[in-house]
Amino acid sequence: MTDETWLHNYDPETKEQFAVWKRSGSPPPMKAQVTKSGGKTMFIMFADIWGMILMHEVPKGATVNAGYYSKVIEIKGFVYFLSFLF
């Protein structure tokens, strides 16, 4: 089985990190609007009936098509296969 997915990177600020002391009656501190995503990365995952075989990070700008899948399987899949032999 093969699947591809986008993983979004972001670092949300917790309530504890945003907490500040203020005088009663003073307005709450202004918080800048932040975007939820700090970027995204595509991953290709390969699995068999026993579980995950390989997770590969696709470089930015790469086109994922049949040729790309074949290269990943040839290079990374061969290394995975050799790990069983030795």
72 CB-near residues (< 8 Å, 6+ apart):
44, 54, 56
Scan for tokens 């995950």, then name that residue.
Answer: 52
CA–CA separation, 18 and 14 (whole Å): 6
Query: What does the CA dihedral 17, 22, 28, 33 come to, rounded to 10 degrees?
Result: -30
Length of the chain equals 86
Per the confidence metrics, is the pTM higher than 0.85? no
Each residue's pLDDT, cut to its tens digit, for the chain (86 residues) gives 778 888 877 666 666 666 677 778 888 777 666 555 568 899 998 888 888 888 889 999 999 998 888 888 887 766 665 566 55
Residue 41 per-residue DSSP state: E
